[in-house]
Amino acid sequence: MNITPHENDFGAAIEGVDLSQALSAEEIQQIRRAWLQHRVVYFPDQQMTHEQLEMFSQAMGPFGDDPYVQAIDGHAHIVEVRREPEEDVPLFGGTWHSDWSFQQTPPNATILHAKIIPPVGGDTHYCDGVRAFASLDTATQQRLQDLSAIHSARKPYSPEGVKAGGGDRRSMTLLPSDAAHNTQRHPMVRTHPETGERALWVNPLYTIGVDGLSEAEGEALLSELFEHMKNPEFIYCHRWRPNMLGMWDNRCVMHSAQGGYAGHRRVLHRLTVAGSAPY
């Protein structure tokens, strides 16, 4: 197995392993070590059926709970991320986010398998929450460690949110619900349960306020943090290829799907790995 890290050790290519076959315990350990170290890993040239994709996902951990998006028929844990050439609605996943951060136990990992990739655009950008936190001054770090943020799915998945986002014109089927208005409190600085690293863990899509601060104060603080997190020094820009599989650590990474491929189809298959309550 060959592992090639990217700049700042954030992101790595893994080659020399066939994910369509059952992995040995040693291979699983190697992949997990690389994933924990580099936070975003990808495997080029992996032709996989739905069943093989599910088998790999379960080697990484139990399936996560994926609400608000229709799964593939017969495969309750695979979501097809699809955009047709003529679609004119906002990109699915285009706003910076950590997957399902509004859940009590958000997923540890997201797995994405590329099926149809446009000749231009369609990249995914990733933000390293560990380095984003480490770069803050000590006083700011201490202040944030005492704060909790409020997360909710209301913006994209409430009935009014889906309507505003052109949900009826999407090739993907969204499942709006009033449950999207529910809120969940999580620490703004998350401690990674496996590495012990601390990460700045808020995101523009699902983080809607700061516990104990007024709406205006919370918005001001979050806006400042979001701008900080989008500093190019914390970002890895990933270019997809057909049959490439990517996996990232949702406990310390946020991501954003990029456009730039109008007139082209883009299809990927997505699963999540179950997680634990942030602390």
Radius of gyration of the chain measured on its C-alpha atoms = 18
178 included as an active-site residue: no
Q: Please report whether residue 239 resides in a domain.
A: yes
Q: Catalytic annotation on 97?
A: yes
Kindly state whether residue 278 falls inside one of the protein's structural domains: no
Of residues 77, 154, 266, 270, which has the active-site annotation?
270
> By CB neighbour count within 10 A (0-12 exposed, 13-18 middle, 19+ buried), where does 122 fall?
buried
Q: Is residue 279 in a domain? A: no
Question: Catalytic: 18?
Answer: no
Q: Does residue 186 lie within any of the structural domains? A: yes
Q: Quote the domain boundaries for residue 221.
A: 2-273
Catalytic residue among 97, 151, 154, 251: 97
Q: How many structural domains is the chain composed of?
A: 1
Classify residue 66: in a domain, yes or no: yes
pTM of this prediction exceeds 0.95: yes
Residues 151, 154, 255, 269: which is the catalytic one?
Answer: 255
Is residue 234 included in any domain, yes or no?
Answer: yes
Specify if 195 maps to a domain.
yes
Alpha-carbon dihedral angle through residues 213, 216, 217, 219, given to the nearest 10 degrees: 100
CATH of the domain at 38: 3.60.130.10
pLDDT in tens, the chain (279 residues): 999 999 999 999 999 999 999 999 999 999 999 999 999 999 999 999 999 999 999 999 999 999 999 999 999 999 999 999 999 999 999 999 999 999 999 999 999 999 999 999 999 999 999 999 999 999 999 999 999 999 999 999 999 999 999 988 999 999 999 999 999 999 999 999 999 999 999 999 999 999 999 999 999 999 999 999 999 999 999 999 999 999 999 999 999 999 999 999 999 999 999 999 999
The residue annotated as part of the active site, out of 99, 131, 151, 266, is 99
- Tell me what pLDDT residue 167 has: 86
Using CA atoms, how far residue 93 sits from 76, 115, 205, 229, in Å, is 20, 17, 9, 17
216 inside domain? yes
